[in-house]
Homo-oligomer: A and B are copies of this chain.
Amino acid sequence: MVVTDAAGPAAGHELPTGKTRDALRAAHLYYLQDLTMDAIAKELHTSRSSVSRLLSHARATGLVEISIHSPLDLPSRLEQEILERHEVSAHVVPVPDHASDVDRLERVALSAARILSRFIDSNQTIGVAWGSTMSAMSRHLAPKATHNSEIVQLNGAGNLRTTGILYASELLRRFGDAFGARVQQFPVPAFFDDPATKEAFWRERSTRRMLDLQASMDVAIFGIGSPFAEVPSHVYQGGYLERADYEALSRDGVVGDVATVFYRADGSTDGIALNSRATGPDFGILRRAPRRICVVSGQAKLPGLTGALAAGLVTDLIVDEGTARRLVEGSAVDGGNRAAD
C-alpha cells in the first residue's frame, strides 16, 4: 500500500495501483461475476469494508452504470400516451400518491439525475437552468466522463436581496464536475430593472459570446416555474420579483416559466412585459437545441407543464407519476388544455 492513490501522475507512467483501478476491478468481480464482497476482499488483499467502499465509489463515480429498459412492448401506458399526445419522450418516475411534495421533488430529481447520463456526451454544449428542481438534481448527478463539453448557464441568477449567484454557480459547478465539462457562467441578474439596460448588455461582446453558445446548444436541461402555485418555485420566493410583477404576470395570463421566460397556457409569450427584462433565452433560441429535457415534479406545475408542451419547448420529459397521470387525463378530453386543478 505504498502508493495509495493514482500511481504516478508525477512519475507519469505505469504501476496500476490506483484507487479507480481497484474500484473497477471490484466492480467487475461484483457485478459481472457475482462474487461476494468478502471474496473480492480476499482477491484484492483488503478488508470487506474497503471493498464496500470501493463499490460505492465505483457507483458514485459512474464506473458502474445501472440502467432500466422497459421491454419495448409495455412502455408504461402513461409514457406511451404522452408520446402520442405531445410527441415527447417521457420518463415517468414512480412515486406514491401520498408522498409529500418535497419527497416527490427529491425522488424525481434523483431519478432524473441518473437518467440524464444517457443524454450527455462528449463535444456537447449543455444548457442548464436553475431552480429548486435543478438544484436537487445537481446534488445527485451520476458522473460520466466526457471530453470537450461545456455547461452553459441559461439565465442570470442575481437578485436584489441575496446574491443568488453563489447558489447558481454551485449548481453549475456540480454539473461541470459530474461531466468533466467547462462551465460558462452568465453573470447577470435574473431580471434587469430596465429593459434598456438589458439591451445594452446584450450588445456587449462578452454577452454575445454567451448568447452564441446558447444558440448552439446540443442539450438543454430545465425545470418549470409555476408562479401561482401553493408551493412557489425558487424564483418566486427568492426576492427576484416584486408584487407589481406578480400582478402583471397574473394579468397576462402567465402559467409558468422556463429559465425565467414566461408563457401562457397556449405557449405564447408575446406581450408579456416581464420577458423583456428577463435574461433567459428566447424560446426560438431554446428550440434550436435538438434535445430539451424538462424535469417536473408535483401537480402544482401541471399548468406550467402543459404550457411548455404547447410551446414545443420539450423533447424529453421526466415527470412524477401523479403529474403524468393528470397530464394525460387533462389532455384526454380535448387538445392541449390545462387540467382541472
Are A63 and B69 in touch, CB under 8 angstroms? yes
CA A70 – CA B18 in complex, angstroms? Answer: 13
State how many angstroms separate the Cβ of A84 from the closest Cβ of chain B. Answer: 16
Residue of B nearest to A112 (CB): B32
Are A32 and B72 in touch, CB under 8 angstroms? no
| A1-49 contacts to B (CB < 8 Å) | 6, 14, 16, 18, 20-21, 24-25, 27-29, 31-34, 43
Residue of A16, A21, A28, A76 with most chain B CB atoms under a 10 A cut-off = A28
Are B111 and A33 in touch, CB under 8 angstroms? yes
Are A28 and B71 in touch, CB under 8 angstroms? no
Residue of A62, A66, A114 with most chain B CB atoms under a 10 A cut-off = A66
- CB contacts (< 8 Å) of A14 on chain B: these are 77
Are B110 and A68 in touch, CB under 8 angstroms? no
A165 within 8 A of B: no
Mask: chain A, 47-87; 1 = CB below 8 Å from B; 0 = not: 00000000000100011111111111110110000000000
A96 within 8 A of B: yes
A66-B68 contact given A94-B25, A111-B32, CB 8 Å threshold: no
Q: Of B32, B63, B67, B110, which one neighbours A115 at CB under 8 angstroms? A: B32
Residue of B nearest to A71 (CB): B145
Are A66 and B69 in touch, CB under 8 angstroms? no
A110-B65 contact given A20-B74, A28-B93, A74-B18, CB 8 Å threshold: no
State how many angstroms separate the Cβ of A241 from the closest Cβ of chain B. Answer: 33
State how many angstroms separate the Cβ of A5 from the closest Cβ of chain B. Answer: 11
A264 within 8 A of B: no
Are A66 and B64 in touch, CB under 8 angstroms? yes
State how many angstroms separate the Cβ of A21 from the closest Cβ of chain B. Answer: 7
State how many angstroms separate the Cβ of A157 from the closest Cβ of chain B. Answer: 28
A107 within 8 A of B: yes
CA A93 – CA B27 in complex, angstroms? Answer: 11
- CB contacts (< 8 Å) of A24 on chain B: these are 68, 70, 76
CA A32 – CA B16 in complex, angstroms? Answer: 32
Are A110 and B32 in touch, CB under 8 angstroms? yes
Can you list 9 contacts pairing A with B, beta carbon distance less than 8 Å? Answer: A20-B74, A24-B68, A27-B68, A28-B111, A32-B115, A33-B110, A33-B111, A34-B110, A66-B66
Q: Which 7 pairs, one residue from A and one from B, show the smallest C-beta to C-beta distance?
A: A32-B111, A31-B66, A71-B145, A66-B66, A43-B96, A25-B94, A65-B67
Interface residues, chain A, with chain B CB atoms under 8 Å away? 6, 14, 16, 18, 20-21, 24-25, 27-29, 31-34, 43, 58, 62-74, 76-77, 93-94, 96, 107, 110-111, 114-115, 145
